[in-house]
Structures are given as C-alpha cells and as structure tokens.
Structure 1
Amino acid sequence: MRAFAIFAGVALIGAMLFTIFSFTATPAAPSPAAEQPSRETLQERLKRVPGDHRGWAELASQYVDQARVTGDPSFYGKAEGALATAAKLNAGDDAVLTSQAALAAGRHEFTEAARLAGRAIDANPYGAAAYGVLADAKTQLGDLRGAQRAVDEMLGLRPGVAAFARASYAAELRGDTDKAREYLEYAHNDAFTPADQAYARYYLGELALHAGDLKTAADWYAKALRAYPAYTPALAGQARTAALGGDLNEALDLYDTVVKRLPLPQYLIEQGETRIKAGQPADWTLLQAQRKLFAAAGVRDDLTWAEFEADHGDPAAAVRHARAEYDRNRSLVAADALAWALLKAGKPAEALPYAKEATATGWRNPLLSYHRAVIEQALGRPARVDPTFDPTLPALARFS
C-alpha cells in the first residue's frame, strides 16, 4: 500500500510498504575529486560533533529509508542505535521523536508510531514530517478521519510531493479516484528531482493499473524509469502489466531483475504467482528467508503472511496471522485479509462482516471487491465477480 511502499507495502505499501514518502536517490556520479570541494558526511560530522542530537536523528531517518530502498531490514537495528544516542542527548526534541515514530512505523508498530508522532507534534506543531508519519500510522490503524486531519495539516504546512501523495491515498481510500489522480498530478508537477518524478509517475501508473487500464499504467511506469532508471517499483509495475496482459515470459524476465535488485516479500510473491501461471513451480525459499530476516529485525508483518498463507499455504495459519494483524492495526486491508483467510478456512459467514468493513469506504480496490463477491457467493447470495479480474495473480492486484 502507498503509505508503506515501503511503506509498502504497502505491504508497500503495503508498502508500501512502509513508505514514509521520503526517497533516498542514488547520487549521480561525482565529478573528479580535484574539481570539487570535499564535503563532510553526516557520519563525519557526528564524529566531530557527537552531541548533535538532530544529526543522530537524521542518521536514523536515513537508515529507516535505506531499509525500505534496499529491502535490508538490518538497517532498522542501525536506526535504533542512532536513536538511542539521540534520545540520551535530547529525548523530547521533535526531530528525535519523529525519527522514532518513523522507525516504529517501519516495523509496523503503528500504535507506537502514532503516539510518538503525536508527541513530536506537541513539541513542535509546525513539523510537517511528524504529521506525515501520523497520517500513515492512522491509516494503518483504520482511523481514516484522523489520517485525513493529519494530511490536511501537512498540506497546510508543507505542500509538496510527500503531502500530495498522502492526500492522494486518502482520497483513493474513500473511493474518489479522480481526486486521487489530481493530487498525484500535483505531486508530479511539484517534483523536480528524478526520484520524486519517478515516484509520482509510478503511482499514477498504479491508479491506472487498478482501474484496469494496462496501457496507461505501462506508459506511466516507462516514464518513471526514464526519469530514474534505478527506480525498482516501476520495473515491478512493468512486470505486473506484462503478466496481467498475458506476456508471462516478459513478466518473468522482468521479475528476475526486480528480485535481484530488491527481494521484498511482495515482489517474491508476485514472481511466484507468475511462475505458477506460466506452468512453472514456485520457489518460496528466498521468501521464507526474507521472512526470518524481517522478523529478526523486529518487523511485525502478519498482514503479508496472512495473505500468503491464504492464497498459497495453510488457511489456519492465515487466520492466525490475520487476526493478529487486525487486532493491532484495523486497516481496510487487514479487514480484507481476515475476511479472505476465514473464507479459505471454510467460515464464509464469519468472513462476511470483515469483507463488508473492508469495502465500506467505497475504495475501488479490485482485490477487495473480488474477495467480497466470492464470500457472498459462498453464502448463496447474488454477487458479481469482475470477469476481467485474474484470481490466479492476487498479489499483483495488491496496492504497493
């Protein structure tokens, strides 16, 4: 999902992921050293000025972002260490609290993220970044009104790519795709770095993809890669459009590159489903290895495993993971995951209230709509399944 594309993923999303809507671009190739003055790195500055609590908080934020960009959860431990130093120096500073909130969000501890972001706002009501983390956390906790209030505050304080992207997602969750697209166009117009341009174009592509417009989606993904060739989510978008368009060989070639660059669980599941669709065996070995790495780094990702087990594993395990996620974070996606897990476990009557909750806001999410329709059909109720939806590739329909 867009709040976590990291933040996610999400999820990205989902990720999100969890996406804090910051992006650390790979720097351009530098000029020869003789032609440019030497620049002090943040680490060098902290060696020289170890009492700089904001510097330690900034370093922690960079580590959180690197965890998302690289898919390496060990950066969360590094962020935790930097924040421990920052907190010893000035625990009540808004920059320290905001970085702590971002770390909690990255680990999917959204209640703690919201608490810390609230403390940061109390310390400095004009800190736009804290409102961004608060909006993300509130979204994952199912408090869409609270998330919208935080987005509005952020828009008022610092309108730009990060704020417009969050406003777009908030509009999308309430079913207003026109407004969601409008905000993303604002983000695109405001973007001046290649990374920001790629980011905005990618999510314009995602909007088109989930509306069933593969051609427009592919065009936006291509434009994102022209702006920033190293932007892996756009390459994953191209793999999705190829798979959904029936070109499975092209999709698998693209997924091979995607997972070599960024072996996130979402991409590994998408690759596995595409292999199955192509008549090849799915190999979940790397996925299970990543699962252990993320757990060891303190990332609680019951949502991903609920969805995976429901579609490709043990329905009982799916229900356990889905209930754990829903009990902590009552987002629309968590409600959907619980509904689908319960259906797969043979409990459609128990599943239906959660499916209704997941679709209550008008969000035009094809996967959620499909899940609800199948649940209602299992109960003998009239329900229309979108004939264009491919149930063999569910991970490709999840919002990143």
Structure 2
Amino acid sequence: MKTENVSRSVLAAGVGAVLAATALLYAPDFAPGLFDQGPPPPPGPADRAVLAANAGAQASLPDLAALIGDREKWLKTHPADEASWAVLGTAYVERGTRLADVTYYPRAERALKRSLAVRPAARGNLDAQLGLAALANARGDWRTARRWGEAVRKEEPKRWSAYPPLIDAYNGLGDYKAAQKALADLEELHSGGAVSARAAQMYRDRGWREDASAAASDAVAQAETGAEKAAAFARLGDLAWERGEPAEAVEQYRSALRLVPEHGPSLAGRARALAALGRTEAAMVDYRAALARLPRPELVLEAGELYESLGLDGDARTQYEQLRTRPWVGAEVVLGLFEADHGDPAAAVRRLKAEWARGHRSVQVADALGWALFRSGEPKEALEYAKRATDEGLRSALFSYHRGEIERAVQAYGPARRHLAEALRINPAFSPLLAPKARESVAALGDPPDELPKELRPEPAPSAAPAAPVRSGPPVRSEPPVRSEPPVRSESPGAAKPAAEARQPR
C-alpha cells in the first residue's frame, strides 16, 4: 500500500514537543494553604496533559481535550494571557493532527495570532511562534514552518522544543542534511521517547533498519504515558510492515491497541498487515474502524485499493470519491498518486510539479512526480525523479517498484529487473494492486541473459598471424601424411640443441 506511515506519527510527536514548550507556562492554581493540609490531590485531566507535555510525552486525547476546555474557559475572563493563547493554539494543532480533523487548524491559527497580538514576536513570544511552526507543518507548508522554527532557534538556541518542528520542516523540503544536524542538536539538549522516535525516523529514512528498530524499541521503554507508548508500539509495527514482516507488525499493533483500544494509526496498520496475510475480512473491519477515528487521505486510498483488489468496485469507488471531494490539507503526494493511478495522470503531474516548484522536494514528492510523469507518457523525464527518490537511502518497496516500471518503459531492462525484484524482496505484499503487477513484470522480463552485455565483454585477443584465405574451386584430394625428417644438427659450437622430435603417425 502506498504510504510511508512513520512520518505522520512522528509529526504528531513534534506537535507534542511544541506543546511541551508552551505548557511549561501553564500551571494550575492551588488554593492558599492547600499543602499545609496534607498531600495534594492527584492531578486532573488538564493537569495530566500539562505534565505529559512538560516531559515531552504525548498526552491522551481525553486529557488533551480537557486542557483545551480548561484554557478556553480561562481565556474568557483573562483575554490578555498570551501564554494561555499559545497553549490553546498549540493544543488545537495537536488534537487536529492526531484526529486528522483539519477544522482545528483555523481555530489554532486564530489563537496563536491572538497570542502574538498580545505579545508580539519582536518582544520574545517564542511559544506562539513555535505553535505557528507546528501548524504550518500540519498543513504541509514546510517553508513557513522552517521560517518560524529558525526564528526561535536563533533567539534561543538551547530551547530543545524548537528542533522537532524544524526536523519536520527540513524533511518536508528534502533538506536531509539540515534535518540530521537538527536531530543531533536535539539529542544534545533533550532525551526521552520523543527524541528516540525521531532518531528511529531518521535511521529509517537513511535505510538503517536495525538502528531504526533499536531506537523505536527505546522509545517504547522511555514512554511516559499510555498514549506515547501506544504510538511507539505502532511505530515498531510500521517498521516491521515495511520490512515485509506482517505477522510481527500485527503483534506490535496489538500491543498498542491493548493500551489505547481505539488507536487509529494501529487500527490502520493492523488492517494493512492483515490484508498482507490474506485475512481480508478482518482487514476491512479494521479499515472501517480506523477511518471512523482517523480519516486521513492515505488510509482512504489504501482501503479503496484493497476493495478494488477484491473486486468490490462499488466500495472502491466510494473511497475514491472521498479523495476527489473532501477538502484535504497537506495531502499533495497522496492525491497525486491517486490521480496518477485512478484518475487523470496529467492533472497529477500539474499538482506535483507545483509542489516541487514550492521547494517541497522530499523523496515522497520526487517519487510521486516521477510516477505521475510515467503514467502520463513521459518515462524519460520520470526516470530522473525516480532515481532521486530511490538514491537518498530510504528502502521503500513502492519507490523501487515505480523506478523498475519506469526503467522497463525506457528499455533499461537490467536495472528494471533489479528494482522490480528488489521491491518484492523488501515487502512482497507492499500493495494489493501493485505487488501482483510487480510479479507479472518480473516474469515478463525473464531471467537475465547468460552472456555479458556488450559494454562488459572483454576485447578479443589479437591474432598472431592472419588467417589463411579460404580456397575456392573444387575440393582438393587429401594426401597421406608425410613423415617428417629429423632436423639437421647444427655443428657450430655453442648452438642450441634441437627440440625433441615429434613423432607423426603414419
């Protein structure tokens, strides 16, 4: 199926990191003398959300909702509290990202701008700026996110919460060196599950699978809350799925769902893995549950393609119609792939070229643009983008499949055979529609030829003497062999002795 699922879960962790920075400024009010009367009461839901954020952890959705309600109520009577406006706006971003509910984003923007109106950026309102960076990332506006994040980093380089939104922005722009440097800076300033999660993403994007799994396991061990631990297990499931290990992926998603029974990313991941195991009825049940809680466009496309692979064309059309009609935000890659395969490839090219022109040059955009160009009949131009997508390091079965089909179209049969086989080796069930096509293409290409390509063949050795000309005319009668006479021995002193005589048969 056509998604790279780790990125979205890590993005949500990045929003949580920004919330941690702003939540530090919010502390619940305690009655005077409360601590003289005994131990304080256990924290309520809003307080738990603040404590989780301050630790860099992910709060539960109910606790996050309680924090939002608490700040909304407070701001009705304290509208000049810029810190609470920043907390509220950033909490809106996190809730919208984790629920795939874009209606939270305009509310977040209003709250964050209200914070800046009370205390402008020039006067050091870093929290609202970080909230705007998280909002821009959620909307797929990587340049704006980079601008806000770099402004905060310049003002306060030791502020660890500035780095997660910067990492997201750099990855979205395809500036992977800057993303790696930002991660190194983050690791020097902070530790914990959120940092290990980002390290897992970075290792995975570079193709270091064992390191990615180790870092993801660290994120599970370091998780501060049930929500954060569930996200960490889901990340391990995603990595197992991408390695072509669906049974292992199912177990990791089950661990996440035991902690958070309605965890949308884990329901979607388990659906994907169950489909790969041939358990399509259970997969469809999980997809329906996932989409009810997390209606992301990539999941809509996955479900549609599963239905299509099973011959459920009506259900597939229902999913595809949602992709055409709903107001998606930050979904250019998914919508481009959808148009390339199920709609108008030329429209996909226009959409993705516009994204490329905006400076959004990640491997995901490169792969989708290359595929759209191929589907619209431009395989030579497509190949350059496909190479860029696969050469960065990420081991993606989908990327390898796309490149192999493009190479096949330009008659580069050797590389095509290698990349199509690689796609199936990475994950034999990477897509219910495309994996069977990959197997068909490999079979059509056949085995590689026994002889070396012309450019690799050794040069023939030069002949010692020219070949005798072919004699024309009637055939010459063969004469019996003549016995050779022994050579005459040289009588001159110092002459070399003759070689032994070779006996000829009579």
2:80 is aligned to: 51
2:327 is aligned to: 294
Q: Secondary structure at the match of 1:41?
A: helix
| Conservation of the 8 A alpha-carbon contact between 1:366 and 1:389 | no
Question: 1:368 offset after TM fit, Å?
Answer: 0.8
Count of residue pairs the alignment pairs up: 375
Q: TM-score, normalised by structure 2?
A: 0.70
CA-to-aligned-CA distance 1:143-169 (integer Å, 9 cap, x gap): 001011111111221212222111111
| Conservation of the 8 A alpha-carbon contact between 1:264 and 1:290 | no
CA distance in 1, matches of 2:432, 2:95: 32
Matched, 1:64 2:93: yes
Question: 1:44 offset after TM fit, Å?
Answer: 2.3
1:377 is aligned to: 408
1:362 is aligned to: 393
| Conservation of the 8 A alpha-carbon contact between 1:302 and 1:324 | no
| Conservation of the 8 A alpha-carbon contact between 2:230 and 2:260 | yes
CA distance in 2, matches of 1:105, 1:191: 24
Where in structure 2 are the equivalents of 1:77-226 lying within 5 Å? 77-92=106-121, 93-226=125-258
Two-structure CA RMSD over aligned residues (Å) = 2.4
Structure 2 residue ranges without an equivalent (≥5) = 17-57, 436-506
CA distance in 1, matches of 2:279, 2:261: 22
2:263 is aligned to: 231
Change (3 A) 1:218 1:286: closer
CA distance in 1, matches of 2:191, 2:305: 39
CA-to-aligned-CA distance 1:333-383 (integer Å, 9 cap, x gap): 100001111111111111111111001122111111111111111111112
| Conservation of the 8 A alpha-carbon contact between 2:267 and 2:290 | yes
CA-to-aligned-CA distance 1:247-296 (integer Å, 9 cap, x gap): 2111112111111222221111111111111110144456655665535x
Question: 1:20 offset after TM fit, Å?
Answer: 4.5
Q: Which amino acid aligns with 2:274?
A: A
Question: 1:139 offset after TM fit, Å?
Answer: 0.4
Q: Secondary structure at the match of 2:12?
A: coil
CA-to-aligned-CA distance 1:183-205 (integer Å, 9 cap, x gap): 11121110031111111111111
| Conservation of the 8 A alpha-carbon contact between 1:18 and 1:108 | no
Q: TM-score, normalised by structure 1?
A: 0.88
Change (3 A) 1:126 1:291: farther
Change (3 A) 1:17 1:128: closer
Question: 1:45 offset after TM fit, Å?
Answer: 2.3
Matched, 1:310 2:340: yes
CA-to-aligned-CA distance 1:84-127 (integer Å, 9 cap, x gap): 21110122111111001111111111001001111111222222
Q: Secondary structure at the match of 2:140?
A: coil
| Conservation of the 8 A alpha-carbon contact between 2:136 and 2:144 | yes
Larger gyration radius, structure 1 or structure 2: 2
Matched, 1:25 2:60: yes
| Conservation of the 8 A alpha-carbon contact between 1:268 and 1:287 | yes
| Conservation of the 8 A alpha-carbon contact between 1:13 and 1:19 | no
Change (3 A) 1:231 1:361: same
